[in-house]
Amino acid sequence: MIEIEMREVVDAGCCQDDAGRWYAAARMKSGEVCVSQRSFDTEDEVMEFLKHWTDTLTKPSALLPAPVAARKPPHGAPCNRCGVCCMVTLCELGQHLFKRAASPGPCPALVRDEAGDYGCDVVNNPQAYTQSVNVATYALRMAARTLIYAGNGCDARINGEPVNHAYHARCDAEDKKPAVIERRRRALKLWGMSGGSDDGLQRGGEADRSQA
């Protein structure tokens, strides 16, 4: 099992075992010390790893079975519907619908199919999550897909996984396209979310729920 909690890192550095392998170590505000599962050949490698690992330790997290976490593809790779992101946090659509904060997960709309793949029930059955009875199911579904960034690739990162900067740059460029901004504005409006008015666009966070 992999257990990580919301913690504030106050100090981070390196440590070595008897075999001379290096590990990253972080001390939390609570006094607890976390040591990385990965080991490294050199101190420099640890320092590089620390740049994103300590950041990860303070982010929303959950207890996941190791096989579930192992199934998650690399940051920026095509979504394989592993479900990890929605087990750990709720996207902006989920937060809006279930009136909950992003963390802790899992999202109530996360569903698993017979093949073991995960999906978003808001996309599958949008009418079950809206009062807008006059809006067509297809329109609601497409709007939900827009809001969860379906098809954008995996933007979740776990266990100190490095950032795929090229992927982030592609997402940023896509987000700036007028057609994309307008599609998102309409989607927000359809689901009754802030930013969907004609007054302007409020961008959401990084919650990519590409499955569905």
Nearer to ligand SF4, 27 or 71 (CB): 71
Q: Minimum distance from CB of 154 to ligand SF4 (Å)?
A: 3
Fill in the amino acid letter for 51. Answer: K
Distance, CA of 121 to CA of 144 (rounded, Å)? 10
Nearer to ligand SF4, 22 or 118 (CB): 118
E-strand ranges in 72-198 read 110-112, 118-120
How far from 138 is each of 43, 124, 141, CA to CA, in Å?
54, 10, 5
Element (H, E) at 27: strand 22-28
* Crossing angle between the packed helical segments 178-190 and 165-175, to the nearest 10 degrees: 80
Q: Which is nearer to ligand SF4, 46 or 152 (CB)?
A: 152
Least distance from C-beta 140 to ligand SF4, angstroms?
A: 13
Say whether 32 sits in a helix, a strand or coil.
Answer: coil
Q: In what order do the strands lie in the sheet with 22-28?
A: 9-16, 22-28, 33-35
Rounded CA-CA distance 71/49 in Å is 21
Shortest Cβ 32–ligand SF4 spacing (Å): 26
Give the nearest distance from C-beta 168 to ligand SF4 in angstroms. 14
Looking at beta carbons only, is 14 or 83 nearer to ligand SF4? 83
Helix (H) or strand (E) holding 14: strand 9-16
Q: Do 101 and 86 meet the contact criterion of CB atoms below 8 Å apart?
A: no
CB of 79 to ligand SF4, least distance (A): 3
> Of 46 and 207, which CB lies nearer to ligand SF4 in the complex structure?
207
The residues that touch ligand SF4, with contacts defined as CB under 6 A, are 72-73, 79-86, 90-91, 93-94, 107, 109-110, 118, 120, 122, 148, 154, 156, 208-211
Q: Min. distance of Cβ 90 from ligand SF4 in angstroms? A: 5
